[in-house]
Amino acid sequence: MKCPECKAELKEVRVKVHGAKQQVTSHQCPRCEYFAFEPESATQVLQELRETPLRIEQRIIKLSGERLGLYLSKHIVQSLGLKKGESVYLSVPDKRHILIELG
């Protein structure tokens, strides 16, 4: 692949993006300042970041009376090693966040 500016041979460079396992492929010109990201690899990394388990939607369920429960997906249970009956500690820093600290 040649540089569209100066026609030198472009160097392929893999760029690590924070939070993503995949890397973005970029093509950089060793002679001038030109560089371009390969659109396909950039799209894959963006997709991966979107699917990253850092933010997972879970439903609140009704237990009994005014008590509500929170589902935790199998993925969370397994990766954190949670067990039934275990204590966790809730902090409510504001009206939009609940922080769950494992005991």
Residues within the interface to Zn ion (CB under 5 A)? 3, 5-6, 8, 29, 31-32, 34
Min dist CB 29 to Zn ion, Å, is 3
Tokens 């009206």 -> residue: 95
Between 32 and 98, name the residue whose CB sits nearer to Zn ion: 32
Between 11 and 14, name the residue whose CB sits nearer to Zn ion: 11
Between 36 and 49, name the residue whose CB sits nearer to Zn ion: 36
Between 13 and 98, name the residue whose CB sits nearer to Zn ion: 13
Residue 1 contacts residue 29 (beta carbons within 8 Å):
no
Would the CA dihedral through 40, 42, 45, 46 be positive or negative? negative
What residue ranges in the chain does DSSP mark as E strands?
Answer: 11-16, 23-28, 35-37, 60-62, 68-70, 88-94, 97-102
Min dist CB 36 to Zn ion, Å, is 11
Min dist CB 60 to Zn ion, Å, is 55
